Amino acid sequence: MQNPLSGYVLFGVTLLFLGLASCKRDMKKEPWFVIAEEYAKSHEIMLQNDREGKGTALQDLAVREDAGSQLLKVTSPSVSELVALLNSNDPIARKVALVNVMLREIKDTNVLEAISKTYRFEDDTYTKFFSVGCLAPLSAIQVQALDKRLLEIFASEKDQNIIIAALPVLTKLDPIKSRALFTRYLTTGTKALRASTIVTLQNDRPEVLYDIDRELKSQGINIFAGLTPFKIPEKFETAN
């Protein structure tokens, strides 16, 4: 004889499944999803128009900033929703999560770990830029909690525009751990990356810049070669 409760259990499980599926479908209708997607699109349009020399920078910026302002007026997604979106294979969903984290300056540990773990080198520049933007407001302690993964990412990242954007984040890492990365940027990077690394280190870690410069000079390498506007920070000149 069939247990009469089994039918109720099956019915309950079915309702739960349908409920979860409905929640998943409805997430894309949430204001925080819709507006964040608009922000991401307007950011891409702004940069595309700039590359094409359309002269619409101010108008495009206003559209993007309006979307950002509207986003901050609506309810934030939950941590679990953000983590789920970050782990998604849907590139739009991932951008939506990153835009929300970046503009709201969300610093939840689970979210930050998800951002670093799901960083993908094959992503477009916009997605990676948003990822870096999420890390920008973090304290040194928060950045250092992610040090292993961040060093892995930026030792392998090929897009130098993304590396340049991430430099102020990387200077928050333990200098003992990040020194080799900066040395590589200063010796093998393009002029733009070398110059940006020098400027960032001068501002945030001048002692690291001095140590690297001194070491490389002993090997006959001048990190300032071809970068005439730059020089070693003044307070270190006498010691060099």
pLDDT tens digit at each of 240 positions of the chain: 545 545 444 444 444 444 444 445 578 999 999 999 999 999 999 999 999 999 999 999 999 999 999 999 999 999 999 999 999 999 999 999 999 999 999 999 999 999 999 999 999 999 999 999 999 999 999 999 999 999 999 999 999 999 999 999 999 999 999 999 999 999 999 999 999 999 999 999 999 999 999 999 999 999 998 886 655 555 444 344
124 and 94 inside one domain: yes
The amino acid that residue 23 corresponds to is C
Domain encompassing residue 195:
145-240
What's the CA dihedral at 165, 117, 98, 101 to 10 degrees?
Answer: -100
55 and 104 inside one domain: yes
pTM over 0.85: no
**What distance in Å separates the CA atoms of residue 78 and residue 31, rounded to the nearest whole number?**
13
Kindly report the CA angle at 142 between 139 and 148, in degrees rounded to 5? 130
176 and 76 inside one domain: no
Boundary residue ending a domain (111, 137, 163): 137
**What distance in Å separates the CA atoms of residue 141 and residue 85, rounded to the nearest whole number?**
26
* pLDDT at residue number 240: 40
* pLDDT at residue number 215: 95
Task: Give the residue carrying structure tokens 């407001």.
Answer: 137
* pLDDT at residue number 237: 47
* Any domain includes 8: no
* pLDDT at residue number 26: 79
Which residues are within 8 A (CB) of 239 and not within 5 positions of it... i.e. 6 or more apart? 210
Boundary residue ending a domain (104, 137, 170): 137
* pLDDT at residue number 186: 96
**What distance in Å separates the CA atoms of residue 19 and residue 151, rounded to the nearest whole number?**
41
149 and 103 inside one domain: no
**What distance in Å separates the CA atoms of residue 70 and residue 95, rounded to the nearest whole number?**
17
Counting Cβ atoms within 10 Å, is residue 176 exposed (0-12), middle (13-18) or buried (19+)? Answer: exposed
69 and 154 inside one domain: no
119 and 160 inside one domain: no
**What distance in Å separates the CA atoms of residue 37 and residue 96, rounded to the nearest whole number?**
6
69 and 93 inside one domain: yes
CA distances from 55 to 50, 52, 58, 68, 206 (A): 7, 9, 8, 22, 38
* Any domain includes 99: yes
Boundary residue ending a domain (73, 108, 137): 137
* pLDDT at residue number 3: 53
